[in-house]
Structure 1
């Protein structure tokens, strides 16, 4: 069954932990991204772990192989349960991350390769990569699977094809989840509803603003979980 991941894209630890406390018992996974990590540092990961959450550390690593391998080791030491790195970073970078994960003696973070950001539409892609989103996402996913990553970050609309191209057990995490088909009018482009994402076979649905900016975030989280076919807290 797909997991709901709530993105704590908030400016301070106080706000993030207050929201985490409201969501405890309703969701298992929380995401720490660049905004919160830069503001508060790695201690925010430890604080969320102490509250019993699984933590998705979404830093989208993209650097020389040695630096990325060291970052994977450091993230694991802080307790990150899932970590992102750009699948476009090249085979040597991805392999170094996998090797660093496999050398760990304790818990190993799930390594997810970022394929194509869901904020990029076809026009954006042609201006940057001279390619459409799905073919590039498929190519990067095949490579990530071959090298040994656990899964990829992609749009919901690429999930079924990626699982066919890589393997059915290759995990797919989908941002850009919105409550209705209009997409919400924000910076995301390749969006999907919870029902659409689940139907496509995604394993993790990341939801940020529709929950964090809701009048009652805990109720919004419960509604998303219900639409995913999950009972509250399951």
Structure 2
């Protein structure tokens, strides 16, 4: 998991996935499998991606009672993915149960998947936070609080906007990982994302991993877009 780039497989079928990955036949990628793909293709897609040498972030954002999340994580641990997540708003007991399920379900000799917590989605802005979610704190305060709950209950890191990473890094140090969606090239459309940054802005803020989807998968030349991502991450234009 040394690659800082997580490419979101925002597809509905494995046929679309294989068509996309043909362009990267010589490259081992860190791939995000989310609800859209996983609910259509099931766990077999994970096994097939692993056989091709890719790392996997299984992005299902579990949020349920602790018992249910523990049992779900116990099953997901057997898939051998690298990273899974829950919603921090599920609370402390649920987050502890998630880690317990992963530890119990990881086969002997394998490393348990790292577990991170979603703080606030990058499609959420301050107005939505206050008017719809009825949270009366600022975005930074809310993300920091949810991150502290995750940190205190044994999770490995959080999902947040890159804009909040410096605050979290100063509070929790470098070992608590940050995974940041909402990454766009400067000339991209924002689409449904709100708290967005460019790849190099994310690096400058100190994030560990960036998640980028449509800027790669919907590009006219996805391989060239991925090369551009690497260049921009390193400060090139």
Tell me the TM-score normalised to structure 1 length: 0.93
**Could you report, residue by residue, the CA deviation over 1:109-134 in whole angstroms, capped at 9, with x for unpaired residues?**
01010000000111111121233221
Distance in structure 1 (CA, Å) of the matches to 2:4 and 2:190? 25
2:77 corresponds in structure 1 to 76
Aligned to 1:191: 196
Residue 36 of structure 1 is matched in structure 2 by 37
The DSSP-based 3-state class of the residue aligned with 1:84 is strand
Q: Which has the higher contact order (CA 8 A, sep 6+)?
A: 1
Runs of 5+ consecutive residues of structure 2 not aligned to the other structure: none
- Call closer, same or farther: CA 1:219–1:185 in 2, change over 3 Å: same
State the shift of 1:52 in Å. 0.3
Q: Which residue of 2 aligns with 1:113?
A: 117
Residue of structure 1 in register with 2:54 after alignment: 53
Query: Once the 2 structures are TM-superposed, how far is the Cα of residue 222 of structure 1 from its aligned partner?
Result: 1.2
8 Å CA contact 2:76–2:102 kept in 1: the answer is no
Tell me, in whole angstroms, the C-alpha distance in 1 between the residues paired with 2:49 and 2:168.
31
Cα 1:2–1:123 change in 2 (3 A) is farther
Which of 207, 214, 225 aligns to 1:220? It is: 225
Q: How many angstroms apart in 2 are the aligned matches of 1:134 and 1:172?
A: 15
Q: What is the Cα-based RMSD across aligned positions, in Å? A: 1.8
Deviations 1:164-201 (A, max 9, x none): 12222110000000001x76231100000001000000
**Contact residue 188 and residue 215 of structure 2 kept, 8 A:** no
Seen in structure 2, the aligned counterparts of structure 1 residues 173 and 25 have a Cα distance that, compared at 3 Å, is farther
Residues 105-160 of structure 1, C-alpha deviations (whole Å, 9 max, x = no match): 32210101000000011111112123322111100111111111011000001001
The verdict on how the C-alpha distance between 1:116 and 1:183 changes in structure 2, with shifts beyond 3 A counting, is farther
Shift of 1:35: 0.7
Q: Is the 8 A contact 2:74 2:103 kept in 1?
A: no
Q: Distance in 2 between matches of 1:145 and 1:79?
A: 23
Structure 1 stretches lacking a partner, 5+ long: none
**Equivalent residue number for residue 207 of structure 2:** 202
Q: Which residue of 2 aligns with 1:175?
A: 181
Matched residue count: 230
Which shows bigger deviation, 217-226 or 99-108? 99-108
Partner residue, 1:133: 139
Do residues 147 (structure 1) and 150 (structure 2) align?
no
TM (norm. structure 2) is 0.92
> How many angstroms apart in 2 are the aligned matches of 1:169 and 1:185?
30
1-side partners of 2:139 and 2:25: how far apart? 35
Q: For the structure 1 residues 166 and 220, does the alpha-carbon distance in structure 2 shift closer, same or farther, using more than 3 Å as the test?
A: same
